[in-house]
Chains A and B, each alone.
Chain A
Amino acid sequence: MARFIRNLAKGILGAIRDLAPIILVIAFFQIVVLQQPFPNLGSVLVGLACVIAGLTLFIQGLESGLFPLGEEIAQEFAAKGSLPALVAFAFCLGFGTTVAEPALIAVAAEAADVASEAGAILGTESARAEYAFNLRMVVAVSVGAAIVIGVVRIIKGWPIHWLIIGGYVTVTLMTPFAPEEIVGVAYDSGGVTTSTITVPLVAALGIGLSMAIKGRNPMIDGFGLIAFASLTPLVFVLAYGMVMS
């Protein structure tokens, strides 16, 4: 019980530390620069308390159960898994962690609201929910694909920059053909996939794999999975936009 309370206190401190810079910057601009009161301050403060409590519990829960299990499986597969099983695990890990990523849920919801206000999709609640859901599925599949590419790269020892540059070229070539309103969402989707859940589990897989394979250097080969996970969503969301229009 004492340990539980200590962990909880640590978690709350961590969440406050996450939020503190945002609150400080906003307070500075509100008080010193704008000299205006913040509207609905009460409800915003309640919401911030929800964010702190929510992130604390969320990370606590991940650390107590999911992260150790995920890291163990990742290392196990890295050490002796067969290639098809490893590839299947890599895809599922990328897909599963991305679907639950809070930042992606947030951006998909915003994108759906904007699209319905602009008349790109119907204004009903169900049309918005469907749009947000499809967007998240596309991004999750693309992250699954990214982790597979990254794992194969680590095993084969391909240099990362050719794959990334190839990705950049693909994105650049696809952009003129994609509908204008999907471009911004697509470019943003790369950054939102990799936060709270995805980074620790995916990094564990990459570093475990590059340590298990002879002749791989964790510095050169261990990093880089996250880079793929931030690039493939651009390609997939652009393609999704082209197919839908």
Chain B
Amino acid sequence: MEILSTLGETGISTLRDVAPIIAVLVFFQVVVLRRRLPHLGRIVRGFVYVLIGLTLFLIGLEQALFPIGETMAKQLTAASAGTSTEVRWDDYLLVYAFAAAIGFATTVAEPALISVSMKAEEVSGGALKARGLRIAVAVGVAVGVSLGCFRIVTGTPLPWYIVVAYLIVILQTFRSARSIVPLAYDSGGVTTSTVTVPVVAALGLGLASSVPGRSPLIDGFGLIAFASVFPIMSVLGYAMIASWRTRRRDAGNDTTDSSRN
């Protein structure tokens, strides 16, 4: 009975969540563009799926994704905390390793990233490889989330890290080819998927509440910010290395050609 009422409540709030996007599309199609809705039956069916799907997802979120992130944070800190009462950053190596692993693993298989990187390979005429781009982004997320955990453990202010990251991105922007820049900026946004965000957010909050002296309110957030800025750096870096290697290979070919002659 309790499950039914949870289901009903979540369903109603989901309806409120999904209504705006439906209203926007129908309004612009019917009122502004003055067109009939194509395949009305399919749209209505799609709407019902979206509704049921989001309801189920939100129930699973409370029951699985949040607890997973939180439990892992608690168990890892319990396993790695030293005997001294003082917080030492190198007691938490396990946490950083877990953060890096989960950041890399969730990103490399992310569908939004796969489609963006394939598009990038296509538009760049093959100069960028979809696989290389995906790995660059995944490494960026892994380093970012791991460093974010280090920040939570040490309790250092979040803005310092992010502002320094911004400065590096700005410097890299001026050293990069103009065509890669928008793509690199976008790759920061697409890395954080619907499944990854709750797990990573709960990891940060769990970590902040189990490390002594940290407050979830001040220290718990920020992991997603790291996961969105670091891929920009790694993609710009990857593009620099790719163009440097192409140039060196071309130069290398020239010398072998001339030596053969």
Taking beta carbons and an 8 Å cutoff, which residues of A are in contact with B?
Answer: 14, 17-22, 24-26, 28-30, 33-34, 36, 38-40, 43-66, 68-70, 72-73, 76-77, 85, 89, 92-93, 95-97, 99-103, 105-107, 110-111, 114-115, 117-118, 120, 159-161, 164-165, 168, 171-172, 175-176, 180-181, 183-185, 187-188, 190-197, 199, 203, 217-227, 229-230
Asked if A61 contacts B75 (CB within 8 A), the reply is no
Asked if A102 contacts B50 (CB within 8 A), the reply is no
Known A172-B159, A188-B223; 7 more pairs at CB < 8 Å:
A95-B24, A118-B215, A120-B217, A184-B218, A190-B228, A191-B191, A220-B178
Expressed in whole angstroms, the Cα–Cα distance for A227 and B25 within the complex equals 23
Among residues of A, the one whose C-beta sits closest to the C-beta of B37 is A69
CB distance from B157 to the nearest CB of A (A): 8
Asked if A57 contacts B49 (CB within 8 A), the reply is yes
Asked if A187 contacts B162 (CB within 8 A), the reply is yes
CB distance from B140 to the nearest CB of A (A): 12
Of B20, B44, B98, B198, the residue contacting A25 (CB under 8 A) is B98
Asked if A18 contacts B57 (CB within 8 A), the reply is no
Among residues of B, the one whose C-beta sits closest to the C-beta of A199 is B112
Contacts of B33 in A (CB 8 A): 73, 76-77
Asked if B42 contacts A96 (CB within 8 A), the reply is no
Interface of B is mostly: helix
Contacts of A172 in B (CB 8 A): 159, 163, 166
Interface flag for B181 (CB, 8 Å): yes
Expressed in whole angstroms, the Cα–Cα distance for A55 and B48 within the complex equals 13
Interface flag for B12 (CB, 8 Å): no
Residue among B22, B27, B38, B185 with the most chain A CB within 10 A? B185
Asked if B64 contacts A106 (CB within 8 A), the reply is no
Q: With A22-B68, A187-B162, A191-B188 in contact, do A34 and B59 touch (Cβ < 8 Å)?
A: no
Expressed in whole angstroms, the Cα–Cα distance for A52 and B50 within the complex equals 13
Interface flag for B60 (CB, 8 Å): yes
CB distance from A57 to the nearest CB of B (A): 3
Q: With A34-B75, A165-B173 in contact, do A66 and B46 touch (Cβ < 8 Å)?
A: yes
Interface of A is mostly: helix
Interface residues on B, range: 35 or more
Among residues of A, the one whose C-beta sits closest to the C-beta of B165 is A168
Of B46, B215, B227, the residue contacting A62 (CB under 8 A) is B46
Residue among B49, B174, B193 with the most chain A CB within 10 A? B49
Asked if B49 contacts A60 (CB within 8 A), the reply is yes
Q: With A51-B60, A219-B123, A219-B183 in contact, do A21 and B54 touch (Cβ < 8 Å)?
A: no
Q: With A38-B71, A107-B201 in contact, do A46 and B63 touch (Cβ < 8 Å)?
A: yes
Expressed in whole angstroms, the Cα–Cα distance for A69 and B44 within the complex equals 12
Residue among B170, B199, B201 with the most chain A CB within 10 A? B201
Q: With A100-B17, A226-B186 in contact, do A50 and B56 touch (Cβ < 8 Å)?
A: yes
Asked if A230 contacts B23 (CB within 8 A), the reply is no
Asked if A184 contacts B220 (CB within 8 A), the reply is yes
Among residues of A, the one whose C-beta sits closest to the C-beta of B217 is A118
